[in-house]
Structures are given as structure tokens and as C-alpha cells.
Amino acid sequence: MASFKELPSFLMVFLFVHLAQYCCNRIDDDNCKYNKHNNCVPKVNFRHKEKEVLDQILGPGSYDARIRPSGVNGTGDSPCIVFVNMLVRSISRIDDYKMEYSVQLTFREQWMDERLKFNDYNGKMKYLTLTEASRVWMPDLFFSNEKEGHFHNIIMPNVYIRIFPQGLVLYSIRISLTLSCPMNLKLYPLDRQTCSLRMVSYGWTTDDLVFLWKEGDPVQVVKNLHLPRFTLEKFLTDYCNSKTNTGEYSCLKVDLLFKREFSYYLIQIYIPCCMLVIVSWVSFWLDQSAVPARVSLGVTTLLTMATQTSGINASLPPVSYTKAIDVWTGVCLTFVFGALLEFALVNYASRSDTHRDDMSKKCDLERTVSMDVGDYEDGPNSFNMKPLMRPELMMSRDKMSQIIHQAPPMEKNSCWKSWMSKFPTRSKRIDVISRILFPMVFAMFNMSYWSTYLFREDTEEDK
């Protein structure tokens, strides 16, 4: 085969021309778009056009971010309408002590600014994207019940502004807020709380700026929203325009209705308190002479109950009214303290019974001695009848039977007396009565407590 150098010169020129023409056609194909007549139409770089459009509509001579947009139909007399909607991403905590809650939002605003209209090149340029909010006019919205808040800048600032061809502006940003939430704790922990999110215009009155909720799901909540001790039952949107000395300002409000999860408090508070009260009743079944055991049991349960009560109150703010948990812990503490006082009463009754038995034995002994001495006071050979056997004290058989027939009938509560007669001492009777009385009163308290507060909870829900 002949080498490339051995080819004729005219053939080399021919190949070179055709190669150059092929390369030029390839370059034209990359920069052309052929129409139906197979004519080359130059392609447009829309990314480059975005820069030109932004420079055109946001240039210093054509746009001033200090001037608010015109109102409806481009008239400057009507206020600018801003539509608001948001997505609740998470609610991290609800603090009962500080009465606040933390929430993370994707917050969006939409308004019309006719100064930002541009050519969309037959739908090829759907919108323009900005990340600098200072380049366009922004509504001066703020959260009136905010305590703390911050933007998210990882990895880049989580904010964008989209400008649509007809002049519609969409502003979206991700923020985290800590908001105040005044709570009514009268039914705690069987309560429901309503926490609000208020958005107000700071400087523009309703004559210049009006906030409206966007139609169709103005507030959205993620499906996997989880709260440790609360459940988000529902949320309501409303308007809350505020009037001050400087004018009327547009305001939007979101009410988040939270229901407290009772299972946590049932396991951590109510069941342990019931167990402490029942343990204090063990003292009624111990022997009255077991003083160290009964005293240590009563004091231990009382101190444990007091510690439980102080721990509950430490996690709640000091309020001037009585909470449902205060009623429960107060009554439980009273029952434990009552069990300790019951032992003090039993101990006193036991010592009183012992003292009375000793005095009775002493009197019987003295009476016996005196009777023996009286029998021989006239001398050893004299006969002296005992007082009960003297003739003047003797009764006839007919008179005794008459007295028996005239005796009152037996009382109907002889069963109770016969049962109590099994416990001859007062101290034992106090223990036996306490074994029945304390559980009955505690059961009655539970019935009244749960029926009262559960009924009040349902009433609050209906309101």
C-alpha cells in the first residue's frame, strides 16, 4: 500500500478541503437548531440570558428595592397583597416550666411585583432564582411571640427567591423558632394546650401591606411528626389584625392544639404514688408491739412521697392555682401521713390499755385483800357474811325473773358487736378499723378524682 506522502498533491488538497468542511459542519450542528425547512436556527444559551434579564430588571435605573410594589391592578392606592403558607418540619420540644415551644418551619411568601416582569422566551425560562433577598423588595413580617430564632446556613443558606415572568415573587426560607406559649395547667397532666404562631407586619400598615393565607392548605405538617409527651391534634388558621397608636397592622395566626400524652404520667407518677399509699397500709397488719418496724415503714413512705411531690413540682412553674396533680399528690401524702398518725394513736391506746389493765388488777387485788380482812375483823370465831351474800341484798327468785323479762331486747347490730368483741383491746380495734376504712376512702377518692377531671377534660375539648 502506498504511503500518505506518495499520494498525488491534488488528492491531498481534496481530502483536506473535505475534512475542513466536515469539521465546520459539526461546529454548526452544535450551535444550530434546524427548522422544518432544514434551515439553521442559532441555539440560545438561556443561562446566559438569565444574567441579561436579571441585569435588565434589577438594574439601578429600573428597580428600587426601597419602594413597595403597586397594589391590585397596578394602582398605588391599594395595598400590596402577600400570600403566606408554611410547612411545619418538626416540633422539637414543649417546655412546661418556661412555657415555650420550639418549631422548625419552611416559610413562604408570594406577592406580585409588576416591575419584575420579563420575557420568558416562549416558556423556555420558567423563573429566575435569587439567593440575595436584599436585591428585591421584601415584606417586613416578624413573629410577634418569638423568643429566639435563627436561619439555617449549612451547607449554603437555606433560602431562595423565584421571580416568575408575570412578576410573581416567591420567597422561601427555612427557620427555627422558639416561641412563647402561655399555658393553663389547672388540668395538668390531663390537659390540652393551644400554642400560637403570630406573624405581623412591623412597619407597613394595612393601607400599604396586607397578609392573607394562601388558598388550599396554608399550613402543612410533615406526616412523621413525633413529640415525646404531646400529640398534635389539629391546627387552625386565623387573622389577628392589631391596632396601635401608629395604625392597624395585618396579622396572621396559627393555633396548634396539643394533647398531653397521659401514659407517661400514669407510669411515672400515678402508679408509684398508689403503691406508696398501699405500702403504708402494711403498718396496720403488723403487731402493735413492733414499734421500730411500724415507725420506719411510716417515716420511709412519708419521705418517699414528699420527695416524689417535690420532684413533680420542680418541673412545673410556680402558679397561683391548684393543679390536678397537686390534688393527687396532696391526698396521697395525706393518706401516708394518716397511716403514720394511726400508729401513734394505736401506740397510745396500747399503753392506755396496759395501764388500765394494771390498775384493774391492782384494784381487784386490793378488793380481795379488804374482803379477806373483813371476814375476820370480829374475831376468828365470829362468822361474817360477804357483802353480796348478806340477806338484805338477796333477791327472791320471782323478782329476778321479773327483772329478766323486763330487760330491753338485744340490739340489731349484735353481729358488729360480736365481731368487735373478738378484739378486746382498743389498739387492736383501731388497726382492724383502719384496714377497712383507709382502702375504702382511697377508692372513693379515686372514683371522684378520675370522674371529675376526665369530665372536665371532655368539657374543655367541647369548648
Tens of pLDDT, residue by residue over 213-265, are 999 889 999 988 888 889 999 999 999 998 989 999 999 999 999 999 998 89
Question: 3-state SS of 265-307?
Answer: HHHHHHHHHHHHHHHHHHHHHCCCCCHHHHHHHHHHHHHHHHH
In 3D space, the residue among 107, 272, 261 whose CA is nearest the CA of residue 199 turns out to be 107
pLDDT at 414: 64
In 3D space, the residue among 205, 170, 252, 171 whose CA is nearest the CA of residue 79 turns out to be 205
User: How far apart are the two ends of the chain, measured CA to CA in Å?
Assistant: 102
Q: Cis ω on the peptide bond leading into residue 189 (within 30° of 0)?
A: yes
Q: Which residues of 106-133 are buried (b: 16+ CB within 10 A; e: fewer)?
A: bbbbbbbbebbebebeeeebeebebeee
Q: What span, in angstroms and rounded, lies between the C-alpha atoms of 299 and 336? A: 9
What's the gap between Cα 367 and its chain centre?
Answer: 76
pLDDT at 355: 57
Query: Who's near 164: CB < 8 A, 6+ residues apart?
Result: 126, 127, 170
In 3D space, the residue among 81, 89, 80, 127 whose CA is nearest the CA of residue 107 turns out to be 89
Q: What is the pTM of this model?
A: 0.72
Q: What span, in angstroms and rounded, lies between the C-alpha atoms of 450 and 463? A: 20
pLDDT, tens only, 141-190: 999 999 999 999 988 899 999 999 999 999 999 999 999 999 999 999 99
pLDDT at 32: 54
DSSP 3: -
pLDDT tens, position by position, for the chain (463 residues)? 444 455 456 555 555 555 555 555 544 444 555 445 555 545 556 677 788 888 888 887 788 888 889 877 666 678 999 999 999 999 988 999 999 999 999 999 999 998 898 888 887 888 898 888 888 999 999 999 999 999 999 888 999 999 999 999 999 999 999 999 999 999 999 999 999 999 999 999 999 999 999 998 899 999 888 888 899 999 999 999 989 899 999 999 999 999 999 988 999 999 999 999 999 999 988 888 888 888 999 999 999 999 999 999 888 999 999 999 999 999 999 999 999 998 888 888 877 766 566 566 666 565 665 665 555 455 555 444 444 444 444 444 444 445 444 545 555 556 655 655 666 677 788 888 888 999 999 999 999 999 998 887 556 555 5
Could you write out the DSSP letters of every residue in 383-437? ----GGGSGGG---HHHHHHHHHTSPPPPTTHHHHHHHTT--SHHHHHHHHHHHH
What's the gap between Cα 310 and its chain centre?
Answer: 20
DSSP 5: G
In 3D space, the residue among 248, 146, 259, 267 whose CA is nearest the CA of residue 205 turns out to be 248
